[in-house]
Amino acid sequence: MSSKKKQQARSRVDNRVFKELALKNVKKSAKDYLVYFFTITFGVCLFYTFNSISTQFSMLQVDDRLNYLTFTSSMMAAISVVVCIIIGFLIVYANRFLLRRRKKEIGIYITLGMEQRDIATLLKRETVIVGIFSLITGIFAGIFASQGLAMITAKIIGLSLNNFHFMISPLAAIESVIFFAVVFFFVHLFNVKEIKKLKLIDLLNGDRKNEVVKSSFIKDTVLFICSISFITGGYGWVFINLDYSMINAFAGGLLFIAVGTFLFFCSAANAVLAILEKRKRYYYKGLNMFVVRQLFSKVKSNSVSISVITMLLFMSITSMAFGLGAGKSIAVKEAAPYDATIIAYQQQAFSEEKASIAEVTSEIEVKDFAKSYQILTLYMADDISINDFLLSGTPISESAKESLTERTELNIIGVDDYNKAMEQQGQDPISLASDEFAVNYNINYAGDIYEYYQSHHDGTMNIGGRPLKMAQRGAYHQPYATEPLTSNVGTLIVPQSLTQGLTANVEYLNLNFVDNSEETYHRYLSAVSSLPDNVRENNKRDVTVQVAADKLTMSYLGIYLGIGFLITAGAVLALQQLSQWVDNEGRYRLLTKLGTKKRDMKKSVLSQLRTYFGLPLLLAGFHSAVLLTGIFSAIPELTGAMILESVLFAAGLVVIVYGIYFMTTFFESRRITGLSS
């Protein structure tokens, strides 16, 4: 028999042995694989759920004529790449724990003559077995999670659930399988590399001593002061720069806070340890001395990883709360008060054609699809800008003021035309005296300017050549057209007679359809298919989908990234702790021999884990609370109820996922140290 055939025969035997041994090892080490299993399952579930969004849109039969929701699906796919990379590194990190946990077992394999490549093959088979089980569980969980996400999507878009049915996305499932196959391939390469570096003496004598970390009171004091300075400096940076650029404010603040957090964990551990040592009654009670020194030694030596975990939790809470909050600030209903609006721009330079609404209506049969329609004309107010209403002391942020003053152009509308528009919406009309004016806007924080002006300015304003004073109730927040963007910083409502002789700026034709049938909708689309260059159309369906797509994108991006960061933080912390409890196994055996009660040892395990998991969460929560206060203040459209709902959702999700990792680590740590019974 040739050497090649001998090799093939030997491979066939090895495959059988590997298969049996891998299955036995997975069964024997099932609890060791628990965190690994949870991490992959969470990752697959998350990946499948958010990559099935396009299938959800199809199931809900959303009319995405202009591909707004397609863009949302594309954004989710792009973010999936980032999340996949994060989870991929996380799985590799989790694999390191498994190697560490089984180093003595691997040492025995080598002693018995097994080659390193055979060990790598064995671990590959074990990884594949656990991976397949996790993949199936994750996809199964993702299928059910995607049903809930589809219901949320329908609620945001404003659709009924009549078309809702149980759906599965084959494409999302295939993408999940492909991604995790790639991840497992890299895990195998990592195993091969790590096993080549292993030494038999290190494997058979794998217990570690606590690191001895040198420190000094002066050094720790200086570092602690620096940490507080960096953290408060980061907070200040956010609040100061938030008025100019939210991105720059958050990026700079994040950098300062990250450095401050690292210095905090480097310095605070020894300070707290010194304080506890002085409390003799506490320090020498039970196993407190053992727990305190063990805990703070680990905090000090792992300050980098704990800082990273804290920042991941901080970004998780912040991104989820901000994403949901920003999504809630986008109002769907206000964008479409009419079934359709045809807009004719009279003064814009993008078109030489200046067709009027009257000319447009002469070309189409409006009554074929509309039961009511009104023409609304806005006139130019060349001599008046938003700056005329900005008084000293106006309660408005610099960012809002800068945003408003960049769009200083105001329009004028006659009160009779305005009332007709309100009547078509079913709103109450307003009344003005001959010497009064009012203002209508649809940007929330513009209202602060007008309300402050009304209450602090008694004089008149020259509008259209006539001095007018602002009416007692002179600020109104109402849309007067179907438009996807809220861009009306102010429209002056004046007596109708004052509009005579003014130059028309924009003309609106607001329409309400005869019914909600597809036939009527398509008759409308056919009628407006060839409008002049200066004329645009918006209809409720397209505008609702566009605004809802923006809302979904903001909300889902925040949740997707937030959960990705959360899984990473929880898994890294759990794996780090389990690795350390592998080292602590010998110490707890020694405590048992010394006669320590098992109840006291169980309490010591819980105490250490509670502190180790609690410190990053508390500091991350504090960071998030401060920064979200500043960020939400820059979004005036958000109400207190919206903010509370967003924060509670983020906090609830963190407690659930983080809690699962905590409980898993707690029970696994007790098992590793022989305290589970």
Domains of the chain by residue range:
13-208, 215-281, 286-333+542-676, 340-515
Q: Judge contact between 72 and 164, C-beta under 8 A.
A: no
Could you give the percent of the chain with pLDDT greater than 90? 14
Residues 6+ away with beta carbon under 8 Å from 624: 314, 317, 318, 321
Q: How many CA atoms lie within 13 A of 387 on its CB side?
A: 10
Regarding predicted confidence, which is higher, 296 or 394? 394
How confident is residue 1, by pLDDT bands cut at 50, 70 and 90?
A: very low
How confident is residue 4, by pLDDT bands cut at 50, 70 and 90?
A: very low
Instruction: List, for residues 198-245, the tens digit of each pLDDT value.
Output: 665 555 555 544 444 455 667 777 888 898 999 999 998 888 877 667
Instruction: List, for residues 5-40, the tens digit of each pLDDT value.
Output: 444 444 433 567 767 777 777 777 777 777 778 888
Instruction: List, for residues 422-458, the tens digit of each pLDDT value.
Output: 999 888 999 999 999 999 998 777 888 898 998 888 8
Assigned token pair, 321: 């709360």
What is the rounded CA–CA span in Å between residue 538 and residue 369? 15
| 463 pLDDT higher than 80 | yes
Regarding predicted confidence, which is higher, 29 or 138? 138
Assigned token pair, 441: 């806007």
What is the rounded CA–CA span in Å between residue 587 and residue 592? 9
**pLDDT for the residue 19:** 74
pTM: 0.77
**pLDDT for the residue 200:** 58
Regarding predicted confidence, which is higher, 474 or 590? 474
Partner residues linked to 409 by β-bridges? 385
**pLDDT for the residue 8:** 43
Q: Which residues of 202-229 are buried (b: 16+ CB within 10 A; e: fewer)?
A: ebeebeeeeeeeebeeeebeebbebbee
**pLDDT for the residue 330:** 66
**pLDDT for the residue 16:** 72
For the residues of 488-527, what is the DSSP string, one character each?
A: -S-EEEE-GGGGTTPPEEEEEEEEEES-S-HHHHHHHHHH
**Average pLDDT over the chain, rounded to an integer:** 80
Q: Lowest mean pLDDT: which of 1-15, 353-367, 371-385, 495-509?
A: 1-15
How confident is residue 362, by pLDDT bands cut at 50, 70 and 90?
A: confident
Instruction: List, for residues 464-480, the tens digit of each pLDDT value.
Output: 888 999 998 889 988 88
| 622 pLDDT higher than 90 | yes
Query: Where does 364-465 have alpha helices with state H?
Result: 398-405, 415-425, 446-456
**pLDDT for the residue 662:** 92
Instruction: List, for residues 54-103, the tens digit of each pLDDT value.
Output: 887 777 777 767 677 788 888 888 888 888 888 777 777 777 777 776 77
| 562 pLDDT higher than 50 | yes
| 394 pLDDT higher than 60 | yes
Integer CA distances (angstroms), 453 to 386, 395, 549, in order: 11, 11, 36
Can you say how many angstroms the Cα of residue 521 is from the centroid of all Cα atoms in its chain?
36
